[in-house]
Amino acid sequence: MKNILLLTDFSDNAKNAIHYALHLFKNEACLFHLMHVHKIGSFTSDDLMQAPKESVYDSITKEPKEALNKLKEELLTTFTNAKYTFETHIDFDVFIDAIKQAISKNKIDYLVMGTNGASGTKEVILGSNTVHVIRKINCKTLIIPENQTFTPIKELLLPLDPEDALDGKQFMDLIDFIETFKIHLHALRINPNNEKTDIESDDIENLALFNCKYHVVNNVPMDFALSSYMQTNTIDFLSLFVKNEGFLDHFFSKANTKVNISKITKPILILHP
């Protein structure tokens, strides 16, 4: 059974990401953990001025508990899948710390979230919480763009920069994802500054057992190479290898050597070492 953490702030975007995940894993036995991280700063004096018999914790969790239970009932009604079970979780910790604890405690296989929260705050397309998760959380993460409608995944694109290698945990996690959902892989090796490496022969060897497309692009900026490939090929999903916390800093720069993630409008599977 897969343990899947579904983050929600009760926004339409979060709900859409949850629906996408429930469609995606329809053939898998899954325990879905619906989780809301309540901001301490959102408490008001009214929260603490409840009936004497009601504890402070009960008072401040009442509304999010009701919202989580309502969401759970909606999902049980909409997705009548005998393989699905649901648990609800509320936490008051720092957002990232709460997620890390939930992943460790519940042995989470996948984390799922949308790109924009209820606040409407955006870093171009990605919301700030999404960026923090990609930077800080070492767990397979599915990022679902706003208003993304589920369609069966057939074609997945993996863009590779000169530092990416098709080996280790990231590659094994990608193989597992591809085999689970029977996806055709596109591997796009991009050398924006015409780097001279021996990695292409390693790529071909590592991909020998896969039915996949492999292309090498030299002396072309990452953004241009990726957008051009997606315009000329049918791509349903992307996967990105994230190497460290600073990796996302490059995504928002104009450097030739990184993908500008803010321009990607397809669902993304984030994989860490």
pLDDT in tens, 97-128: 999 999 999 999 999 999 864 444 333 345 56
pLDDT attached to residue 120: 40
CA gap 157, 263 in Å, rounded: 15
Report, as an integer, the average pLDDT of 179-205.
90
Residue 254 has pLDDT above 90, yes or no: no
Q: 153, 186 in Cβ contact below 8 A?
A: no
CA gap 104, 120 in Å, rounded: 29
* CATH entry 3.30.70 includes domain 155-267: no
pLDDT > 70: what percent of the chain? 79
pLDDT in tens, 162-174: 889 999 999 999 9
Q: Cα angle at 193 between 201 and 227, to 5 degrees?
A: 85
Match domain 2-144 to its CATH number in 3.40.50.620, 3.40.50.2300, 3.30.70.100, 3.40.462.40: 3.40.50.620
Domain coordinates of the chain in residue numbers?
A: 2-144, 155-267
Structure tokens at 154: 């057939």
The kind and range of the H/E element at 203 are helix 199-206
- Where does the chain show beta strands of DSSP type E? 2-7, 30-37, 84-91, 110-114, 141-144, 155-160, 184-191, 212-218, 237-241, 268-271
DSSP string, 231-268: HHS---EEEEE--STTHHHHHTS--TTS--GGG--S-E
Higher pLDDT, 252 or 24: 24
pLDDT attached to residue 252: 47
- Given this chain, do its domains 2-144 and 155-267 carry the same CATH topology? yes
